[in-house]
Amino acid sequence: MRIEISTLSNSDGKFNHQKMDRLAMVLSNLNNSGKQVIVVSSGAIALGIDKMRIKNQPTSYEEMQAIAAVGQAELIRFYQHYFDQYNQIVAQVLLIGDIMDNVTRVKNTQNTFDTLLEMNIIPIVNENDAVSLTDIELDDNYILALQVAKITKADIILIKMDTNSKFIIQPRNKLNAKFVSDETQLFKELEKTCNEIVCDDSAELFFPESIKDIVLN
Amino acid sequence: MRESFKYKKRIVVKVGTSSLSYANGRLNFQRIANLSYVLSALRNRNLEIVLVSSGAIGVGAGRLGMLNRPVELSKKQALAAVGQAELIKIYQKFFEGYNQTVAQVLLTKDIVTIPDRHQNAKSTLLKLMEMGIIPIINENDTISTYEIEFGDNDTLSANVAQLIEADLLILLSDIDGLYSADPKKEDKAEIIRSVDKITPELEKLASGTGTSFGTGGMVTKISAAKICIDANIDTIITNGNDPSIIFDILEGKEVGTHFVANKSVILKD
């Protein structure tokens, strides 16, 4: 069972350490229960702004990219810190927007993910903003999560809405998304969803193309 | 004396696995601390510094308690993904000691081959330097075909130097420079102080010496120097045992081997 988590954070507010700690606990626990977990995480720019004590929201593209390069280093450091508390090793995977266009790179990335998951490591994925050509930190990172889900043949995309602390469970087939708000329920619902999914690798992978489609469903 | 070295402004420093770790593969924190100190000091002098650092796979192997480096590509890439996160954390820690902010920039061969990406990477690096930040660059091993795209960080560092139109590339190695013969085998081997042109004889000479650690060795350093000569960038290959040798280089002292930039090259933006 492969699960992806996309954390949707606001780019303005301060970084919430408590939330990251809870997330690290939940995901380490999921990993311990035998599920393979991949995290798609934004937050690099917000952390970069915080780190650099920048008062005004940057507007130029170069500045955003530079701040992302500072913030990504911070972000992965925090992930390491919190996952470490649960004895969970993480890895950093930075992808570019057009990853799907290059067959060799898709294969490479696939192999890297497979190997990391086999080794019980949780990959933390983000867009490589420093060199990326696509829009920086698309407000939800969902497109990146979707691409990763396709590459890794994930069974479930789990989205954490930071705005209202809700989780969205979106299975890989046409089953409707579920919304849960607390972590205990999350485990129950995940188990249930896992059982509902027909575990057939040949079955076509279907995920909604945008976060809006999930919410509207 | 290399008088012009006193006026170098934009400098790329490349440090290899052999300079960052002990022979047993574990990290040499003292070396990393010294390097962080030297580069932060230079940054305070208003020099623009970019660090190209290897070491991710070794650090990843250490983190996972692996005694031997894996041979399979996918394992190496996985270790690099774990190790890069650790490595940048360690750099942050040491640079923080000197109140110096660093950034992580992971590149692929695209910066050379795709014009848009070239421009993008360039503007990010220039902006970081303008903001007083030291970018720490490595190859994005996870998605690039490791050892196939850049092959080694020597070439990557030369490409970066070219990208940002650096004045100087410093390649820190575990050997003092290029020798007239293998210094480990021949007593008469002498260090070559200055090279104007990479000749086939020189390339042959380089293939005989070098290091067994890392993927580099002298051959890739020579080809990095060649890229820089052609781009009108001075290159120094020197021993990275004591990173404060960078101070000496910038005082114009005769250390390491100097690959002299081809001044006749007219650079166009």
User: Which stretches of chain A drop beneath a pLDDT of 70?
Assistant: 1, 7-14, 133-140, 162-165, 174, 198-204, 216-217
Is residue B49 a part of any domain in this protein? yes
User: Which stretches of chain B drop beneath a pLDDT of 50?
Assistant: 210-215, 268-269
Is residue B91 a part of any domain in this protein? yes
Classify domain A2-216 at the CATH class level: alpha beta
Whether the CB of B86 is below 8 Å from some CB of chain A: the reply is yes
Whether the CB of B100 is below 8 Å from some CB of chain A: the reply is no
Residue labelled with tokens 């990406």: B117
Give me the residue spans of the domains in chain A. 2-216
Nearest alpha-carbon partner for A157 in B37, A143, B133? A143
Dihedral sign of CA atoms B224, B225, B229, B231 in order? positive
Say what the pTM is. 0.90
Residue labelled with tokens 């360039």: B122
**How far apart are the C-alpha atoms of A13 and A163, rounded to whole Å?**
11
- Show the domain range for B9: 3-259
Is residue B264 a part of any domain in this protein? no
The angle at the Cα of B73, spanning A147 to B25, to the nearest 5 degrees, equals 120
Strands of A61-208, DSSP E? 90-95, 122-127, 156-161, 166-171, 178-180
Nearest alpha-carbon partner for B233 in B14, B36, B34, B1? B14
**How far apart are the C-alpha atoms of B269 and A114, rounded to whole Å?**
42
What was the pLDDT predicted at B17? 87
What was the pLDDT predicted at A44? 87
Q: How distant, in Å, are the alpha carbons of A207, B26, B77, B113 from that of B146?
A: 31, 21, 7, 17
In single-letter form, the type of residue at position B99 comes to N
Which residues have CB under 8 Å from A147's CB, separation 6+? A95, A99, A100
Residue of B106, B116, B131 lying closest to A94 (CB–CB)? B106
Q: Do B133 and A89 touch (CB under 8 A)?
A: no
The ipTM of this complex is 0.85
Residue B93: left if φ>0, alpha if ψ -120 to 50, beta else—which one?
alpha
Chain B residues with CB under 8 Å of A112 CB are 74, 77-78, 81, 142-143
Strands of chain B, DSSP E? 10-15, 48-53, 102-107, 134-139, 168-173, 194-195, 234-239, 257-259
Q: Are B182 and B189 in contact (CB under 8 A)?
A: yes
Strands of B158-205, DSSP E? 168-173, 194-195
Q: List pLDDT tens digits, range A73-128.
A: 999 999 999 999 999 999 999 998 777 777 888 888 899 999 999 999 999 999 88
Q: How many CB atoms lie within 10 A of CB A73?
A: 25
What was the pLDDT predicted at A90? 97
Q: Are B38 and B243 in contact (CB under 8 A)?
A: yes
The total domain count for chain B is 1
Any idea what DSSP says for residue A34? T
- How many residues can be counted in chain B? 269
**How far apart are the C-alpha atoms of A23 and A158, rounded to whole Å?**
12
Q: Are A149 and A187 in contact (CB under 8 A)?
A: no
Chain A residues with CB under 8 Å of B140 CB are 94, 128
**How far apart are the C-alpha atoms of A20 and A23, rounded to whole Å?**
5
What was the pLDDT predicted at B264? 67
User: How do A166-171 and A156-161 pair as beta strands?
Assistant: antiparallel
Chain A residues with CB under 8 Å of B113 CB are none
**How far apart are the C-alpha atoms of B107 and B75, rounded to whole Å?**
20
Nearest alpha-carbon partner for B4 in B230, B269, B249, B257? B249
Query: Which CATH number fits the domain that encloses residue B43?
Result: 3.40.1160.10
What was the pLDDT predicted at B46? 96
Is residue B60 a part of any domain in this protein? yes
What was the pLDDT predicted at A176? 79
Whether the CB of B90 is below 8 Å from some CB of chain A: the reply is no
Q: Do A99 and B143 touch (CB under 8 A)?
A: yes
Instruction: Compute CA A110 distance to the chain's CA centroid, rounded to the nearest angstrom.
Output: 16
Provide residues of A within 8 Å CB-CB of chain B. Answer: 51-52, 61-63, 65-66, 69-70, 72-74, 76-77, 79-80, 89-96, 99, 104-105, 108-109, 111-112, 114-116, 119, 121, 123-124, 128, 130-133
**How far apart are the C-alpha atoms of B238 and A179, rounded to whole Å?**
59
The secondary structure of chain B in percent helix, strand, coil, rounded to multiples of 5, reads 45, 15, 40
Closest-CA distance, B180 to chain A, in angstroms, reads 41
Whether the CB of B89 is below 8 Å from some CB of chain A: the reply is yes
Residue of B63, B85, B120 lying closest to A76 (CB–CB)? B85
Q: How distant, in Å, are the alpha carbons of A179, B74, B88 from that of B132?
A: 45, 36, 18
Backbone φ and ψ of B104, nearest 5°: -105, 125
In single-letter form, the type of residue at position B204 comes to K
What was the pLDDT predicted at B87? 96
What was the pLDDT predicted at A201? 58
CA-nearest residue of chain A to B120? A131
